[in-house]
Amino acid sequence: MAETTDVAIIGGGAAGCAVAYYLAQSGVKSTIIEREGLGNQASGYAAGGLNPLTGVGIPGPLGDFAWECYELHAGLYDGLKDASGIDYQHRTVAKIDVALEESEIDGLKETAERLNAAPGFEARWMDTDEILKLEPRIAPGILGGLYDYGNTAADSHKLTNAYATASGATIHEGNVTGLESSGGKVDRVMLADGEISCGQVVMAMGPWSRKAEAWLGVYIPVDPLKGEILRLELNSGPINYDISGGGASIYPKLDGLNWCGTTEDWKGFDRSLSEEVAKEIRRRLDRVFPELANAKLAKHTACLRPVTPDWLPVLGQAPGWENVYFATGAGKKGILLSPGIGKSVADLMTTGETTLSIKGYSPERFATQID
């Protein structure tokens, strides 16, 4: 007998798995269709920073939603950990953003004020001596920095799997090759080796979302932005802060490795590991945390962020389709945004509305741009 599901979710990254989780909270069972294993693309290799107050579009069109997602994460942890049996290590982190140029200082001081005003955050500008007291291995040539406490972090691979496990969704390994429809409704998801009949469909294909343009005739400008990370071992003891500056970011992880990067390159779907990029990461580290510039490599990873022209996610019903929804385009913030993506899309699918601040993220905003 042909496989049937109420909701077919195409893509088992953080976005798709979060939709499955929140649908399950409303009593809706789904099937996640994934061709390369759950969380084995960007959602498994992200740095896992849940930083709601900084980044593209914050403050700005992503600000309210980012903060809502940060709060959702905080409320989710105990229940999701218990329901899934997966401890994805949600925790609060201290962070130092160092200034390497005079021109960066005013901006960092302004950010300190803004962060300090946010509930649960502490932030202030520190001069070089204060920073070096916190972490003496930081390069002595820095010009001070912003210290803050309040951002959170999680293991993104475990989080993605926790959503999926707790959702009780059927996991179907397979490559989706098309959709079959009738009268503005998708009836079947076509796979390389079969098909699944469905009541509703969620397109959560991350950087591969444009594939759906041909299937649906809807313009979905999501493009892959490559990011590489070096996981480095340090013999001189753990680093207690996330650190960034001069294009380098350092994320000390609970496994003792320091994830360093993160780069941004428009290279299409190329996921190869670049020696040139590895050297560039080490060059940047040398200006911020010299010991890491020569530290032993434990692992080098590369993966692709799903980015839209306005750097905002694509959430909601596909224009012209009765039963198709998008959950994609989260760019550099997809782990932070995942609970909001999951909840808002599940809300729309089950009730037609959501209280989350996703106005402006509808796929409709690109509708006029179809060639």
Ligand X SMILES: Cc1cc2nc3c(=O)[nH]c(=O)nc-3n(C[C@H](O)[C@H](O)[C@H](O)COP(=O)(O)OP(=O)(O)OC[C@H]3O[C@@H](n4cnc5c(N)ncnc54)[C@H](O)[C@@H]3O)c2cc1C
Pick the closer one to ligand X by CB: 145 or 329.
Answer: 329
Interface with ligand X (CB under 6 A), residue total 42
Give the end-to-end CA distance of the chain in Å, rounded to a whole number. Answer: 40
**Alpha-carbon gap, residue 60 to 274, rounded angstroms:** 34
Under the criterion CB under 6 A, does residue 333 sit at the interface with ligand X?
Answer: yes
On the CB side of 347, CA atoms within 13 Å amount to: 13
**Among 95, 51, 56, 53, residue whose Cα is nearest residue 73:** 51
Of residues 162 through 191, those in contact with ligand X by CB under 6 A are 175-176
Q: For residue 281, what are the contacts with CB-CB under 8 A and spacing of at least 6?
A: 228, 229, 230, 248, 260, 261, 263
The only residue of 28, 34, 172, 244 in contact with ligand X, by rule CB under 6 A: 34
Q: 303: how many CB neighbours lie within 10 A of its CB? A: 21
Interaction with ligand X in 48-67: which residues (CB under 6 A)?
48-49
Among 123, 162, 204, 278, binds ligand X (CB under 6 A): 204
Find the part of the chain contacting ligand X (CB under 6 A) among 88-96, 108-116, 325-333, 344-352.
325-333
336 binding ligand X? (CB under 6 A): yes
Among 46, 230, 232, 243, binds ligand X (CB under 6 A): 46
Q: Which residue from 305, 223, 204, 311 is spatially nearest to 261, judged by alpha carbons?
A: 305
Beta bridge partners of 251: 259
Answer yes or no whether residue 33 interacts with ligand X by CB under 6 A: yes
Taking the C-alpha atoms of residue 312 and residue 34, their distance in angstroms, rounded to an integer, is 24
Q: Which of 30, 31, 262, 344 binds ligand X (CB under 6 A)?
A: 262
Q: Under the criterion CB under 6 A, does residue 22 sit at the interface with ligand X? A: no
The residue (of 127 and 266) whose beta carbon lies closer to ligand X is 266
Q: Using CB under 6 A as the criterion, which residues of the chain lie in contact with ligand X when the complex forms?
A: 10-16, 33-36, 40-43, 46-49, 175-176, 204-208, 211, 227, 229, 261-262, 303, 305-306, 328, 330-336
